[in-house]
Amino acid sequence: MPHEIDRPHWSYSSISQYLKCPLQFYLERILKLPKKTTSDTQVLGSSLHAALAHYHRQLQAHEPIPEDQVREVFLATWESHARRTEIVHAGNRSIEDNLSMGLALIEAYLEELPPTDILAIEQPLLAPISNSRGEVLERPLLVVPDLVTRLDDGTLKVSEVKTSSRAFSESEVAISLQPTCYASALHELTGEEPTVEMIVLVKTKVPRVQRTEAIRTIPDFGRLGDLVEVVERAVEAEIFYPQESPLNCSSCPFFRECREWTGPGSSKSGESRVPVIREACPC
């Protein structure tokens, strides 16, 4: 779900995309080439997020929540994606496999205890980013937490829903950039150090929900600022190159454009130089 913000900013998705593949960042966020395909994994995740956001809003409004309605939102969102783009199915997965898995994951989530004291649901938040030297960077950070609640002890809690083919390990949670972005933004905006819960919808034969806590502290926020500062300098220096791997390339919507890339200064638009980042939003 896109979130339009007027001023230039960073986001978890833009930072992680540059770290994952600088050339993909360039093709999508600088040249703004249209995506011709979308992976079934992305569509499944987007459809599940829409369905669970509807569920959470019903909870927040203290309204009845027919399970059929939550499932209908999931199916409608999938259909909306299918009308706009070609969905690429990985391996031997079919559309029926994905829809069945999505519905099973929704059922597993609805069996969990529902969240209480909901403060925000997918609300865009724009927050300053500070590096480890306490300097505020020029571009702020946009975060859109799936769910923000208040615990009984008064702690602010951010919950982020993910889909994965396997459970997350402790080491993955410990170094994940997304919880750091959320905790940093909430700390900058509220002065509190929130707890971050990763809710992983695990796509195993018997779908299940994994809940794990990601602890982030003020030094982590400074390290995030240092990382963003370096990424921003690299983008301004026009450092874009392909990071080729089976994981990156198998479902990349810019695979053809990547193969046509010939180095610095190459451009599908015919320009002799890479457009400067200041003219584009990296979110």
pTM assigned to the model: 0.86
Question: What pairs with residue 155 in β-bridges?
Answer: none
Q: In what order do the strands lie in the sheet with 208-214?
A: 118-120, 147-150, 156-164, 195-202, 208-214
**Which pLDDT belongs to residue 41?**
93
Residue-range domain boundaries for the chain: 10-231
pLDDT in tens, 213-247: 999 999 999 999 999 999 999 999 999 999 998 87
What is the amino acid identity at position 156?
L
- The second-level CATH assignment, the architecture, of 10-231 is Alpha-Beta Complex (3.90)
pLDDT in tens, 44-89: 999 999 999 999 999 999 998 889 999 999 999 999 999 999 998 8
Q: At 210, is the secondary structure helix, strand, or coil?
A: strand
**Which pLDDT belongs to residue 248?**
81
CA distance 26 to 17: 10
Q: Give me the residues of the chain with pLDDT under 70, please.
A: 1-5, 265-283
Asked whether the beta carbons of 44 and 92 are under 8 A apart, the reply is no
